Every structure is written in C-alpha cells, then in structure tokens.
Structure 1
Amino acid sequence: MNDTLLRATALGGKVRAFAIRTTELVQELHRRHQTMPTATAALGRTVTAAAMMGAMLKGEEKLTIQVKGGGPIGQIVADANAKGEVRGYVDHPEVDLPLNAIGKLDVAGAVGRDGFLYVIKDLGLKEPYRGSTPIVSGELGEDFTYYFAKSEQTPSAVALGVLVDVDLSVRAAGGFIIQLLPGLSDDEISELDTKLAALPPITTLLDSGKSLEDILGTLLEDVEILDRMEIRFQCKCSRDRVEQTLISLGRQEIEALVEEDRPAEVVCHFCNEAYNFSKEDLTELLSQLER
C-alpha cells in the first residue's frame, strides 16, 4: 500500500476531515536517520501532522514545523507542501526511552514539555506566516490540537500514531485531523466527542487493515471524499545546491578547507545524504568565485 491522504467533508459540510497513512514515509525516515523507536515515533508523528497541514495549502505553498520541547530528542523539524512531498529530521535520532506508565513509547518524555510548537507557512507573500503555541503534553497529537485552537482558531481533533515493530521497522503510521466548522449543533459535537473517545489508536486501526475511509466513516456521518493524494518522502537537496552553499561561505572558508588537504563532506539534515568534495572540487569552487 502506498502512503495516501484523503481530504473529506462530513455532516453536510460542517466538518472538514483529513486522514492519512504514512507508514512508508516514516520507514524511509527511520532508514535514513537510523532512528531508535522513541525518536521514530516522535519524528513520525510530526511529519504525519506536517503532511496533513501541507494538504491544506495550495499550489506552490509550503510549510515548516519545528518542535522544540526541551527534551533529550532536541529539535524536530518537518517540511511539507501542497503536493504531498514531505521530509524531516530530529536532532538526536539515537534517543530511546523506557516505555511510559501505560506501556507505550514515551514520546512526551523524549520531546519534553518546556517549549513551543512553531509553524512557518510560505504562502508566496513578502513575509511568511508564523504561528506558535506552547507545548502542552509532548505527545504531539494534543499539541497540534492546541495549536489549531489557539493559533488558527479552528477547533480540531488531531490523532497521530507510529507503531514500531520488534525489529525497529515501522509497522504502521498515520493520523487524522477533524476540524469543526460553523453550524455544528451541541448534540453533533457531543456525539463526535463520544466517538473520538471510543476510537482505538490510529495505528491499531491501520495495522488491523482498516482503510482511511473506514476510519473516517467510524467517526463521521455522510462522509464525502473530495480527493486522494499520494504522500512521499522528497528532499530538495542536490550537489548543485550544496556547491552554492559552500560558495556562500566565502573565499576564506573554502581556502581553509583546501589548505587542510582533505575531502570536505556536507551532510543534508533532512535526508542524511552525504556530498563529498575533493581538494580539486574545492579549488574549482574558488575559481568560480573569481569569475
């Protein structure tokens, strides 16, 4: 199964919904960054949220999410756009904590609760939109729910999950965002709250073979699927871009690398791809500065 996102409405257009499977995406990030289970879950939940929020954008718009909770995992960063392209990394992929009190991966312990969730949206305007809210739990689902309520004034229910197998691979990953629009009655809101409280974890549903349509149908009545989009890992780094980054360092920095007489290696944070530059390569960059 390819990773997929569904965009839908329900209850006569009074609810907007997104549901997503990100198993392959999170597995690819685990492979590239060699994340341990707790770090895999934290990064996976963040990129899952980013992918759904990217689907709320249009055209060439894109966004970056930064989670800085003060925990041992450090910063989590995720990029996404309106085309379903996602990438991400975590400062300390080696972090792995004991299971929490209910026998689950201790994402909150790794993320921390002393910090902020930042969302930066590039909407093609002169200045990007910036929103931030305090981290309220560190579990991330609750933190994104709080972000939507406080920063975007949109009451939402956010579920995010990553199930890591015994061999450290990603067995299931995904989530949903249910957003309440004007016109919902108190009874409809109460019924939705009851269904949300009774719903098993999203990874349990995905791992048991439930489709995204099944999951939305369990929560909402009269679901209308508006579109379906493939979600995939995509990094924008390239050797040309890395060369431009090196050139931007200036002559003095590049000359220092040449004088060290050893290859320079630049590693992309997002995909962990390494770009190596020999002494000859660096000398060629110096000649470009003279042109």
Structure 2
Amino acid sequence: MRDYTVRAISADGFVRGFAAKTTGLVQDMCNRQKTWPVASAALGRTVTMAAMMGLNLKEEKHRITIRVSGDGPLGQIIADADGQGNVRGTVDHPQTDIPRRADGKLDVGTAVGKGSIYIIKDLGLREPYTGTSPIVSGELGDDFTYYFSVSEQTPSSVGLGVLVKGEEILAAGGYMVQVMPGASDEVIDRLEQRIAGIGSISERIQEGATPEDLMYLVLGDDAEILESRPVRFRCRCSRERIEAMLRSLGKDEVESLLNEQGKAEVVCHFCGETRTFGEDELKRIIEEII
C-alpha cells in the first residue's frame, strides 16, 4: 500500500486532524543509513511528523524542518518536508544499540535523551519562523504534543509509531489532532476518549488501517477528509549544491584537500550518495574562488 498523508476535520468543525502511513518511506531512509532498530524508530517517528506537517505547505519551495537535538546516544535527528510530499531525514548515529525497556519495547526515550526540539518553517518570507520547546520524554509523540501546546499555543495530541523487526520496517505512521478555538468541554472529552482507545498506531497500520481509518477513529466516523497527498523520499543534494559548499570552504581549505588527497569525496547524510571531485575540478574551483 502506498505511503500518503491526509488532512481532515471533525463534523462539528472544532477538531482538525492529520494522519500518515509512512512504512515504505521510513524503510527507504533506514536502508540508506543502515540504521539499527532504535535509530529506525526514532528517525521514522520524526520523518512521519515532518510528512504530516508538510500537508500545511502549499508550494514546493515552502519547507518544514524538524531538528531533535537530544543528549542521548543517537545525537541529532533531522527531518524535512516540502509542499509536494517530498521528505528526507537523517540521524547522527544510526548504528546505536541500547537495551530495551522492561516491557520489551525499544527505548527511544533514552536513545534521544534530553534537550530541545526545533521546528523551522520556511514559507518564502524574509525570515523563516523557528519554534522550540524542551524534550519532555524523548518518545517524540509526547514531545511534539508539548511543542504545539507551548510554542504554538495550540492544544494538540500526536501519536507516532514505527514497528521494527531487525532491519525491516513492518509498519510506520501517525496522527496529529488539534483543537480549534471555541471547542466545548464535551468535544474535548469525546476526543480524549477516542485517543485513549486507539492503541498502538504501528499495530493498527500493520493490520491494514489507512490514514483515513486513523482519522475516523480519532475524529469520529462522520469526519470529513479534506485532502490526501502521496509522500516519498527525495533528497535535495546535487553536484551543484556540493560544489557551492566546497567553494564556501575558502581557497585555503580546498587547496589543502587538493594537496593532501588529490580529490574531494563528499557523502550526503540524507541519501548516502558519494560525489567525487577530482584534481582538475578542484583546481577549477580554486581558480574561481574570489
């Protein structure tokens, strides 16, 4: 089944929701970075969140970037998405291995650690908007819920799940719901009851639940699906971008690469591709640096 996200609203108009199935997307990224299970789970949850937030972007050049900066062994996790469903992500230490929790589940919270979440929205304005909040649990669903409540003052609930078996991603996806101004206590109570009964997101998806199914479970059977968008891995790296990065190092640094190695090899952290610039190319770059 294809990967995609949906945007929906409850019948009463007081709760909006987003849901995603990202199993193939997460598998692709984990294959590229050769992640071990706890890194797969953390990266997959962050990428799923970015995919859902991307539904609010209307133009391809608009971009949302999530940076999870914890002090745990995984290091930093980065995911970004554009307005066309293109998503990518990376984790500093993909081959991280830590003991499982007492209940047998992956200990994502310890692997992420304490720190901060940063969300940068580039909507083509003069300056991107950056919001931040502390990491409260490291499990990421709770952390994004807290982010929206504190940084954007929007009462929200986020559920994220990645089911991992060795190197295989059995299921990945999530949901986000946000309460609109004017919602009554009755609306909020009903929403909380539905969320409490949804159970494991990844298990629901493994059993065949679609993003629409997740929205109906959380918002009610009479919820309206407003939009559906495919999501896929796509990296923005290119030979031109990497050459620009080499130029930014300055003439002395590029000359050092030429003299010591005779070439420059640059590996993209997102897609894993290696691009090589030979002796002649480095000499040309040096000559063109002002």
Q: Same fold (TM over 0.5)?
A: yes
Aligned ranges for residues 1-291 of structure 1 at < 5 Å? 1-59=1-59, 60-112=61-113, 114-165=114-165, 167-221=166-220, 222-289=222-289
Q: 1:262 to 1:191 in 2, by over 3 A?
A: same
Deviates more, 1:6-15 or 1:200-209: 6-15
Q: 1:271 to 1:237 in 2, by over 3 A?
A: same
Matched residue type, 1:193: E
Q: Structure 1: how far apart are the matches of 2:183 and 2:22?
A: 30
Deviates more, 1:42-51 or 1:185-194: 185-194
Q: Structure 1: how far apart are the matches of 2:56 and 2:253?
A: 41
Matched residue type, 1:153: Q
Q: Structure 2: how far apart are the matches of 1:61 and 1:210?
A: 30
Matched residue type, 1:50: A
Deviates more, 1:171-180 or 1:205-214: 205-214
Q: Structure 1: how far apart are the matches of 2:164 and 2:261?
A: 43
Q: Secondary structure at the match of 1:55?
A: helix
Report the alpha carbon displacement of residue 281 of structure 1 after superposing the two structures with TM: 2.1
RMSD (Å), alpha carbons? 1.3
The superposition leaves residues 270-291 of structure 1 with CA deviations (integer Å, 9 ceiling, x where unpaired) of 212111112122122223337x
Matched residue type, 1:196: I
Decide whether the 8 Å contact of 1:86 with 1:235 is kept in 2: yes
Report the alpha carbon displacement of residue 261 of structure 1 after superposing the two structures with TM: 4.2
Deviates more, 1:241-250 or 1:200-209: 241-250
The superposition leaves residues 52-95 of structure 1 with CA deviations (integer Å, 9 ceiling, x where unpaired) of 11212232321211111211111111111221111111110011
Matched residue type, 1:191: R
Q: Secondary structure at the match of 2:12?
A: coil
Report the alpha carbon displacement of residue 13 of structure 1 after superposing the two structures with TM: 1.4
Matched residue type, 1:135: I
Q: Structure 2: how far apart are the matches of 1:189 and 1:101?
A: 33
Structure 2: runs of 5 or more not aligned: none
Matched residue count:
288
Decide whether the 8 Å contact of 2:148 with 2:156 is kept in 1: yes
Report the alpha carbon displacement of residue 260 of structure 1 after superposing the two structures with TM: 1.6
Decide whether the 8 Å contact of 2:173 with 2:202 is kept in 1: yes
Deviates more, 1:51-60 or 1:84-93: 51-60
Matched residue type, 2:216: G
Deviates more, 1:33-42 or 1:187-196: 187-196
Q: Structure 2: how far apart are the matches of 1:82 and 1:149?
A: 24
Q: Structure 2: how far apart are the matches of 1:210 and 1:261?
A: 52
Report the alpha carbon displacement of residue 182 of structure 1 after superposing the two structures with TM: 2.0
Report the TM-score when normalising by structure 2: 0.95
Structure 1: runs of 5 or more not aligned: none
Matched residue type, 2:83: A
Q: Structure 1: how far apart are the matches of 2:151 and 2:289?
A: 45
Matched residue type, 1:253: E
Identity rate, percent: 52
Matched residue type, 1:3: D
Q: Structure 2: how far apart are the matches of 1:241 and 1:217?
A: 43
Matched residue type, 1:45: R
Q: Structure 1: how far apart are the matches of 2:91 and 2:14?
A: 36
Matched residue type, 1:227: E
Q: Structure 1: how far apart are the matches of 2:252 and 2:231?
A: 42
Decide whether the 8 Å contact of 1:261 with 1:279 is kept in 2: no
Q: Structure 2: how far apart are the matches of 1:11 and 1:185?
A: 14
